[in-house]
Amino acid sequence: MATWSNLNLQNSASPLMEQIIFFHDHTLIILIMITILVSYLMLNLFFNKFINRFLLENQMIEIIWTILPAIILIFIAFPSLRLLYLLDELNNPLITLKSIGHQWYWSYEYSDFNNIEFDSYMIQNNDLNKYNFRLLDVDNRIILPMNNQIRIMVTATDVIHSWTIPSLGVKIDANPGRINQTNLFINRPGLFYGQCSEICGINHSFMPIVIESISIKNFINWINNYS
């Protein structure tokens, strides 16, 4: 979970988020190299005393500063396209979770099981205990098994919302009248927090998301007890 002093990405809890972090670092290294090169050239131009009054063009330099950026863009584009295809890939999900955005709470349906659906509201300040996080905890958490492929289907009933879990690398819009789909693969147990990431009204900041990742055995027990 992000805290007030954290300027970095959250720790990864899924393979997709790991790939996003790798791509971020890869791109950042390229940007730093470009910044250093351009800074060096600018300083040289500012402080040297050389001048050529008769220089009109230099085709070799123009070829270099056309081809070199194209090569750099290729080194960014190919990993980016690979990551985009990975984000959309969905193979044989174990379960399907449907998430529905409302003003201003989320409701969930486990489509593979009968009668498992609930609303998830933020816990108000007066009801918090010492183990809860203010503005982030909910009364009904999403329970999901770790180390399994999970399909998430997201929609809304009123305005556009956005279902987001940063540590899992998931951010998907909830559009009224349309169902968007993505996938999850959680590789460790724990609690993972998110919030609506699309301004949806006066209480936009008060509709958090909490996923509780547990083992498949405990998940089956929870399904049996819920039913």
Domains and CATH numbers, the chain: 15-88 (no CATH), 95-225 (2.60.40.420)
Q: Measured between alpha carbons, how far is 180 from 17 in angstroms, rounded to an integer?
A: 19
Q: CA 32 to CA 216: how far, in whole Å?
A: 44
Average of per-residue pLDDT across 17-29: 92
pLDDT of residue 227: 65
Q: What is the pLDDT of residues 100-153, one digit of tens each?
A: 999 899 999 998 888 788 999 999 888 888 888 888 899 889 999 998 899 999
Query: For position 36, what pLDDT does the model report?
Result: 96
**pLDDT at residue 8 greater than cutoff 70:** yes
pLDDT at 3 over 80: no
Whole-number pLDDT of residue 47: 86
pLDDT of residue 129: 86
pLDDT at 106: 94
Angle at CA of residue 219, ends 218 and 225, nearest 5°: 90
Q: Is the model more confident about 31 or about 125? A: 31
Q: Is the pLDDT of residue 6 over 90?
A: no
Would you say residue 20 has pLDDT above 70? yes
In this structure, how many other beta carbons lie within 10 angstroms of the beta carbon of residue 26?
13
- DSSP β-bridge partners for residue 190: 213
58 pLDDT higher than 70: yes
pLDDT of residue 213: 93
- What interhelical angle do 15-47 and 59-88 show, nearest 10? 160
Which tens digit of pLDDT belongs to each residue from 184-227?
A: 899 999 899 999 999 988 989 999 999 999 999 999 998 888 76
* Tens of pLDDT, residues 162-181: 999 999 989 999 999 999 99
- The Cβ of residue 15 has, within 10 Å, a number of other Cβ atoms equal to 14
> Residue 1 above 70 pLDDT?
no
